[in-house]
A and B are shown apart, each in its own frame.
Chain A
């Protein structure tokens, strides 16, 4: 019996697990399944991403876990903010407890479509990307609570988290787009076939510097994937009230574009693979519009109902939660069982809880370090405090 179970486990690519999991694993799961995904609207492109995609069980479980982690992490941040343990700005990328729905599919789907050696930069709604790019929930929450164990040592907060090949977290709307084009320039300069995903929102899409970046990226054929996360609201201003043209995937004009269902993680993944391949082939930049919905308010200080109706929010929620969508697909195609997904939920909840406890208990950064990290690679020097007698040491 054990030998048979072991053999089955190997076939399914599942490692040896404790008893309860072995029971689950002894069900014959499919290795993979094929799904139809929405066709993308195209601009200046003959062909788009494929309309079917194969999802392996392994990938499905991975994406599910990642999306749940991002959601739960954001919900926890929400909670900590309401308890005033997180201060300042807190732009979340999740939905609320009972009514899910938002941008988890974007960050997990984008990451699934690129390599860890590719690059990504986004605006201030960045916690999800910080996670998918490799930082732990603990480091992220601890940065949000402003403690020394935070990924930026408490110096940056919500909008300024960095990781390898992840350039933040940027607070000035639109400024990250020329930065992303610059990172793409470095990719081309170094000749390593890497691309840079440069994200911005529907609100930022009207910034002039974005058009400057489009122009130079196209002129110089930079491997830049411009990605507009269209959640239909720039703070309290709906897209119809902000943009003369809301076809954001066409706003790059001479840059080919595609409009993608941003609530379907498989759609996002396929589109990203397509876009990255386009850039890697040396054809220059491409633009992707991800259609999503921001269930929450703009940030923690915005209840989100003064500029739209509750009916609208309800409708979107009930129809397209990215996590429910993936779950249904996996269960219905026998890629996973409801129980094992529930187990993942439990594990994720614990991970978040542990991280939140750490983030709440970790001490604040030592005052002596207030002046640190002004300059890189320099010998220590003195930094002035609130008056001439208060001096801080600055260490690189």
Chain B
């Protein structure tokens, strides 16, 4: 009987985050001919980080477009094309370079539907790697979650694993609003099991919904992107000491799913937020402010605590860089402090 069951069960695919994004884009390009991709090196180079590998060969020059190094120009072109009814995916080689184009993202994309009184939608996706990498120093390591998360009219998502990456990029492309997809370069090569539903061409992860990655009772730990993995590692370590962490993967920065976090805090009475970005005016700061304003505040047994990147431009030397981003030990320390252990 067991042998028969074993034969019938489909093995779960191991897919890297890079391939998950690639699959997501490929499926959406196939599904809707208005979708196209533009950015530096996305076509003939297969993508600076190979995320768009094979797409140009499959779809050609019309739908996979290499741009010159002109972020402000091509971001504006993407927004204009979206206004005229196409569904562009605009890649920034890293979000650091999006600063050159940020006026187009905010003033031309995010605000337009509102300013036009609901006449002019802008169905554009801006995607690319965000945040720290390894040894690329200050100008190439900034996290933009807080900057983009600040603006009404934008949606901002931050996938962690392959399932997130695939489901969110597909949802972003199908969304009729400007969506910023903050990927992570260090996660591109990491394989994850893709659950069977994620193998369907209509697999979507809803924007605006967080996921509880690990159930727990003693403390709520909230993170987005790569730090979610660190939180799970911390949780594994702490579990051996009898501390059970509930780890929440935000998945979306804006609109933030504060309800999932509130419900969790009302259960565990403790909160730690974890992010790669700088502490001041960051994602964690927003979570804490909202928890204070809501029903969960009265359930807190200790102040909410934030774990973040260090408040410095990213240094180059390995020892300095390692200590400028939240490590597993920093998360464990913060959790224990909050629990007064």
Contact = CB atoms under 8 A, between A and B. Distances in A.
Contacts of A190: 85
A167 B80 CA distance: 9
Nearest to B109: A179
Given A175-B107, A375-B177, A378-B177, A151 B76 contact: no
B80 A172 contact: no
A152 B293 contact: no
B108 interface: yes
A144 interface: no
Contacts of B70: 209, 212, 215-216
B119 A162 contact: yes
A215 B86 contact: no
A322 to B, nearest CB: 30
Contacts of B65: 220
B68 interface: yes
Contact of B104 (A178, A185, A215, A372): A178
Contacts of B36: 189
A113 interface: no
Interface in A177-224: 177-187, 189-190, 196, 208-209, 212-213, 215-216, 219-220
Interface stretch (A12-20, A35-43, A153-161, A349-357): A153-161
A216 B78 CA distance: 12
Interface in B88-145: 88, 103-104, 107-108, 112-121, 123
Given A175-B108, A381-B255, A376 B177 contact: yes
A150 interface: yes
A161 B36 CA distance: 28
A291 interface: no
A5 interface: no
A182 B176 CA distance: 17
Contact of A156 (B76, B107, B116): B116
Contacts of B293: 388
Q: Interface residue tally of chain B, by bracket?
A: 35 or more
Which among B76, B83, B293 has the greatest number of chain A C-beta atoms within 10 A? B76
Given A151-B117, A213-B77, A178 B67 contact: no
B155 interface: yes
Contacts of B118: 153, 372-373, 376, 396
Contacts of B114: 155, 373-374
Given A152-B115, A155-B114, A182-B77, A167 B120 contact: yes
Interface in B31-75: 36, 62, 65, 67-68, 70, 72-75
A152 B119 contact: yes
Contacts of A215: 68, 70, 73
Given A175-B104, A216-B68, A374-B153, A182 B76 contact: yes
A220 B130 CA distance: 29
B108 A179 contact: yes
Nearest to B34: A189
Contacts of B73: 178, 181, 209, 212-213, 215-216
Q: Interface residue tally of chain A, by bracket?
A: 35 or more
A180 B83 CA distance: 10
Contacts of B112: 160, 168
A212 B74 contact: yes
A151 B112 CA distance: 14
Given A189-B36, A215-B73, A376-B177, A181 B117 contact: no
B40 to A, nearest CB: 12
Contacts of A373: 113-114, 116-118
B84 interface: yes
B77 to A, nearest CB: 4
A186 B108 contact: no
A377 interface: yes
A377 B176 contact: yes
Contacts of A376: 113, 118, 121, 123, 176-177
Interface in A343-396: 372-378, 381, 383, 388, 396
A171 interface: yes
A289 to B, nearest CB: 21
A119 interface: yes
Nearest to B293: A388
B152 interface: yes
B77 A375 contact: no
Given A156-B115, A172-B107, A213 B120 contact: no
25 contacts: A119-B84, A150-B117, A156-B116, A172-B103, A175-B103, A178-B74, A178-B76, A178-B80, A179-B104, A180-B80, A184-B80, A185-B77, A185-B86, A186-B80, A186-B86, A212-B68, A213-B77, A216-B68, A372-B118, A374-B113, A375-B176, A376-B123, A376-B177, A377-B176, A383-B152
Given A375-B113, A375-B155, 19 more contacts: A161-B116, A167-B80, A167-B84, A171-B107, A178-B72, A178-B76, A178-B77, A180-B80, A181-B73, A181-B80, A182-B78, A182-B88, A189-B81, A213-B73, A213-B76, A216-B74, A373-B116, A373-B117, A374-B152
Interface of B: 36, 62, 65, 67-68, 70, 72-86, 88, 103-104, 107-108, 112-121, 123, 152-153, 155, 175-177, 255, 293
Interface of A: 119, 121, 150-156, 160-163, 167-168, 170-172, 175, 177-187, 189-190, 196, 208-209, 212-213, 215-216, 219-220, 372-378, 381, 383, 388, 396
Q: Which 9 A-B pairs have the closest CB atoms?
A: A182-B80, A178-B76, A212-B73, A153-B117, A186-B84, A179-B80, A152-B117, A376-B121, A182-B77
